[in-house]
Structure 1
Amino acid sequence: MLRNIKPGRRAKIRCHHAKGAVRQRLLDLGFVPDTDVEVIRKAPLGDPIECCVANYTVALRNSEADLIEVESY
């Protein structure tokens, strides 16, 4: 899952398991299958995480990051 990727590492999105409005939000933000994503940093307490996807940065809650299945490089 995206939450488990360490800062500075890249991964490829395989799929996500979100439903409803959360699913649509993730798709609108660019979290679509076969897209590269990089974890930039995590907050001091681990939530949220900052990711770079489609050439811009997005902050995701851990609950959202747990819905995104990735393949690490």
Structure 2
Amino acid sequence: MDNNFIQLNYLPVGKKGRVKMLTSQGAIRRRMLDLGLIADTEVVALQKSPLGDPVAYHIRGAVIALRSEESSKILVEIT
């Protein structure tokens, strides 16, 4: 695995990343793919909720809130 890849839940607010791999399986994986989280999709961490989970991300023109449990299964490269 490349050292430049991090889990999406560690992407700092205001930073951009490119999706490189999904490690989830089953229905969760299907949901992520349906949301447009495929290879080379740009993701921007917009803001954290007051308690830190979920986090709002800008993905393909939409704002999507993902919990840490879900976003930890998405590997991104910081751009």
Q: TM-score, normalised by structure 2?
A: 0.90
Aligned equivalent of 2:45: 39
Match of 1:67 in 2: 73
Q: Tell me the amino acid that sits aligned with residue 55 of structure 1.
A: G
What pairs up with 1:23-38 in 2 under 5 angstroms? 23-38=29-44
Task: List structure 1 runs of 4+ shifted beyond 3 angstroms.
Answer: none
**Can you give the 5+ residue segments of structure 1 that lack an aligned partner in the other structure?**
none
* CA RMSD after TM alignment: 0.6
CA distance in 2, matches of 1:30, 1:57: 12
Bigger Rg, which one? 2
Q: Which runs of 5+ in 2 are unaligned?
A: 1-6
- Corresponding residue number in structure 2 for 1:10: 16
TM-score under structure 1 length normalisation: 0.97
Identity of aligned residues (%): 36
